[in-house]
Structure 1
Amino acid sequence: MKMKKVLTLAAAFTMAVSITACGGKSATPEPAAPESPSTEAKTSAPDQSAPELKPEDGAKLVVWESKDERAYTDAVIKAFTEKYGVEVTLEEVNPTDQAGKLLQDGPSGMAADVVMFPHDNLGKVAAANLVLPNDSFEAETRDQNTEAAIQGVTFNDVLYGYPRAAETYLMYYNKDLIKEAPKSFEEVIEFSKTFTDKSKNKYGIMWETGNLYFNYPFLASTGGYIYGNGGTDINDIGLNSEGTIKSMEVYSSLKEVLPVKSGDITPDIKRGLFTSGDLAIDINGPWELGTYKEALGDKLGVAPIPAIGGQPAVSFSGIKAWYVNSYSKYPNAARLFANFATSEEAQLQLSELVGSVPTNKKAQESDQIKNDPYVSAFTEQFKNSQPMPSIPEMGNVWAPVGAALAEIWDNNKDVKATLDKAVTQLQELNSGTAGK
């Protein structure tokens, strides 16, 4: 969605709330002792008879937010300040940078009170005791959000996050080039044989064939997985399992209709081909929705990823969530903000402004989402997605699997032997013996 539209929507929302000045935060506050996750936090919901949580006297908060989504947070801040009388300052920090910045600045008291990052960063942050458990609002967070969202913001059986949006990818298609969305990759291949012409730079389908993130459906749709036990058991690696091999056979079969090296398929190349009408199908995420709608208008179609091996395609999903800094001087106010900013209403506002997919179950069933053909399609794919593992060892997966995908795609290497090698490399990385 273009920024002009975002700002227009944000202005319309903020007219409904009073404008309240935001206060700053001391540059060198004395860090408060972080609260450690208790056994109770892991095993029980908060006491429903406990007094209502209230912000600390004189509480002032700093929150980190991305530039692209601050219109939503600016609006939420004003509504929150009106309700609780707490001043909130927003600092623009890219979500992918926030976990690292928190690791660096959290103990010194320089980090924001409330931070937001994709859930696959949670493991390293929680292991360093830098975020507080979502304890005061645990029961309602679990009740109101999807199972995948809760799984994503949980680490070692402790709920930490306040989910606000889901992110996955689906199939964009040009209705002028292919009238109906293919239901299976067999149908994709059948169509692409009539459309693909490498000499004219025209392709039936394209996706980043060397990127594990976009290729997870070719690992998981017929029973494969990365780590066992919901992505937490590093001793159970399923990247070379029978289920993975079955899905990867479909992956290999697509080389016939996409005769392009993996390194030559980039986001910019795909975007150019799709918007110019030279690419019929692109597997991509919500970040391209605004550009594709502007370029294709009514010709743009969206649908779940085609079935793989007779099974619904299982995509990777990321959960964006708020987290409370363990070193916050005002943890109650921070908890209140994180919960307030992820309500059903707040998630619908975020979706309206930036096209995000709510994790709140009622929001997903709202007319706003159901009547939006684009967001509703992402919601459907999200329901058949799996959150990326959030354990620190997930960081070891990307390089060996990416290299394996490139070998299989570019050099026609044997699928099983190549994945066996990748698993061995991953085991060495996890055990710390790589290179020894």
Structure 2
Amino acid sequence: MNITRMTRRGMVAATALATGAVLLTACAGGGSDGSAGDGAGEIDIWALQGQDSENAALQAAVDGFNSSQSDITASLRLIAGDTYTTTITSTPKDQLPDVLQIDGPTLASFAYNGKITPISEYVSQETIDNATPGSISEGTSGGELYALAQFDSAMGLYGNKSLLDAAGVTYPTSIDTAWTSDEFADALAVLSAASPSGKALDLNEAGLAGEWGTYAFAPFVWSAGGNLLTDDAAAGALDSEASVAALTDVAAWKPFVDSNADGNAFPDGRVALGVGGHWNYPAYSEALGDDLLVMPLPDFGNGPKAGAGSLTWGIGAGTDDGSAAGAFLDYLLNDDNVTAMTQANGAPPATASAFAADPLYKEGGPLALFGEQLANSCASDAITDGCVAVYRPITAGYPTVTSQFASALSSVWGGSAPLKALQDAATTIDQNFADNDGYQQ
């Protein structure tokens, strides 16, 4: 979920991460350079098949590019989300397309295995300068820029104002007034007691063992002062006292959580709170109207944190015409195409100009809090108290990191001791890194 962004498109892509982990570590190498070419001819584009509205926006961008000039002809191929990552990892670089969509957390793996090439010499400086800091962070590996995004993702805590007011629960109205972990637990108890369902929270329980688990729940670890990795090591970070405390607190929420088998626990009013992302906003807004609240996730001690990251766009390492591929990316990342895509999927734009103009995320907009979070973003190896939106680790070993963290989270949710679950995950991650020489490029 680049957990990838967590729209349906990104959530489907996330299911391929664990499957692709073995393939991603099958060889050791570094980013490869394509050929600049003469900036003319035919280029192939691969993208993850998303919602119909997203597919239409992307096809319109390709068609618009083709009609805007006569030197380059671009052809689009959409690939099903559940096979997208494995298709890229199993395809030799000389058979990969000129331009391809990359789920953010897999980018470092693709660079490490020579699937993609740095893009700075192919896209314009204007395009790079207009990218949001999050897009640059997510698209950079080993000091090289490999990809840029059309859109980002944002998440937090949704609330039902009527249910909160009826239960007498005071709720946060800004990042600075986020509930503490203890206050959140108290609110869950009060709301559950006041609810006919006996439950207070939806957190997409079914997705805990997948990329949703890392995207949505690593923020609680970061907020507590823990981490998934420190200096490319999990031991001492993932199994730290802070990380263990965070998952201990999260596991204590279970009695108050609706399993949400029908997907309607929050919009139908069975629960007053829901952990979710920007992709939930259209349905939640339609269901609740003015009762819909957008709030930060609880603060576990080092400021509230939230997941971020999305699908990005890069250039295949085997391209014969990086110049033509770069020209397409310049066109794809202009305001018209970025806005068309974000209107299709509701995601926050990943270009500075489009983000500043988006009525959803700007000050006074219904998702302004999400916009503020993204404006205060950081990488997971440079977290500060003031950083809110955190991007997942940029490492070729990410498939193992996310698989092990999500498995530990799911195990803890099922009743396992947090310390043991996180120690086991850290041991597996560190062994994987050792087996691959630390994934050094």
The answer, yes or no, to whether TM exceeds 0.5 is: yes
Select the structure with the greater relative contact order (CA < 8 A; seq sep ≥ 6): 2
Task: Check if 1:56 corresponds to 2:55.
Answer: no
For 2:192, which of 191, 196, 206 is the aligned residue? Answer: 196
For 1:360, which of 351, 358, 361 is the aligned residue? Answer: 351
Aligned length: 373
Distance 1:319 1:237 in 2: 28
Task: Check if 1:379 corresponds to 2:371.
Answer: yes
Contact 1:116/1:321, CA 8 A, preserved across alignment? yes
For 2:203, which of 204, 207, 210 is the aligned residue? Answer: 207
Look up the match of 1:164: 150
Q: What is the one-letter code of the residue matched to 2:201?
A: I
Q: Call closer, same or farther: CA 1:341–1:372 in 2, change over 3 Å.
A: farther
Deviation at 1:116, TM superposition (A): 0.8
Distance 1:175 1:381 in 2: 21
1:202-253, CA deviations, whole angstroms, 9 ceiling, x for partnerless residues?
4222314642332112211132111225xxx247751122442453454244
Distance 2:237 2:284 in 1: 35
Look up the match of 2:182: 186
Distance 1:90 1:120 in 2: 23
Deviation at 1:186, TM superposition (A): 3.4
Deviation at 1:277, TM superposition (A): 0.8
Q: How is 1:11-30 mapped onto 2 (pairs within 5 angstroms)?
A: none
Contact 2:61/2:337, CA 8 A, preserved across alignment? yes
Taking every aligned residue pair, what percent have the same amino acid on both sides? 20
Q: Call closer, same or farther: CA 1:409–1:353 in 2, change over 3 Å.
A: closer
Contact 1:132/1:323, CA 8 A, preserved across alignment? yes
Distance 1:118 1:60 in 2: 21
For 2:113, which of 128, 134, 152 is the aligned residue? Answer: 128
Q: How is 1:211-250 mapped onto 2 (pairs within 5 angstroms)?
A: 211-229=213-231, 233-234=232-233, 238-250=237-249
Deviation at 1:37, TM superposition (A): 4.5
Distance 1:403 1:95 in 2: 21
Report the TM-score, using the length of structure 2 for normalisation. 0.74
Deviation at 1:356, TM superposition (A): 0.9
1:371-390, CA deviations, whole angstroms, 9 ceiling, x for partnerless residues?
67344333233332221223
- Larger C-alpha radius of gyration, 1 or 2? 1
Q: What is the one-letter code of the residue matched to 2:279?
A: W
1:345-368, CA deviations, whole angstroms, 9 ceiling, x for partnerless residues?
432222222111112223322253
Look up the match of 2:59: 74
Look up the match of 1:84: 69
SS at match of 2:75: strand
Distance 1:198 1:432 in 2: 52
Look up the match of 1:43: none
Distance 1:191 1:148 in 2: 32
Deviation at 1:154, TM superposition (A): 1.2
For 1:330, which of 304, 309, 321 is the aligned residue? Answer: 321
Look up the match of 1:150: 136
Look up the match of 1:302: 294
1:278-315, CA deviations, whole angstroms, 9 ceiling, x for partnerless residues?
01111012333333233333332222223222x33222
Contact 1:130/1:325, CA 8 A, preserved across alignment? yes
Deviation at 1:338, TM superposition (A): 1.3
Contact 2:37/2:321, CA 8 A, preserved across alignment? no
Distance 1:401 1:198 in 2: 34
Q: What is the one-letter code of the residue matched to 2:398?
A: M
Contact 2:221/2:227, CA 8 A, preserved across alignment? yes
Q: What is the one-letter code of the residue matched to 1:239?
A: L
For 1:347, which of 324, 338, 358 is the aligned residue? Answer: 338
Distance 2:245 2:183 in 1: 18
Q: Call closer, same or farther: CA 1:175–1:35 in 2, change over 3 Å.
A: closer
Identify which range, 186-195 or 122-131, moves more after superposition: 186-195
Q: Call closer, same or farther: CA 1:307–1:100 in 2, change over 3 Å.
A: same
Contact 2:228/2:234, CA 8 A, preserved across alignment? no
Distance 2:241 2:372 in 1: 27
Distance 1:237 1:96 in 2: 34
SS at match of 2:184: helix
Distance 1:169 1:326 in 2: 33
Report the TM-score, using the length of structure 1 for normalisation. 0.75
Distance 2:414 2:389 in 1: 27
Contact 1:356/1:375, CA 8 A, preserved across alignment? no
Look up the match of 2:381: none
Contact 1:138/1:159, CA 8 A, preserved across alignment? no
Q: Call closer, same or farther: CA 1:399–1:319 in 2, change over 3 Å.
A: closer
Distance 2:194 2:61 in 1: 49
Distance 1:63 1:256 in 2: 44
> Cα RMSD over matched residues?
3.2
1:295-341, CA deviations, whole angstroms, 9 ceiling, x for partnerless residues?
333332222223222x3322232232111122234321111111221
Distance 1:96 1:148 in 2: 26
Contact 2:154/2:277, CA 8 A, preserved across alignment? yes
Q: What is the one-letter code of the residue matched to 2:240?
A: S
Q: How is 1:249-268 mapped onto 2 (pairs within 5 angstroms)?
A: 249-255=248-254, 257-258=256-257, 265=259, 268=261
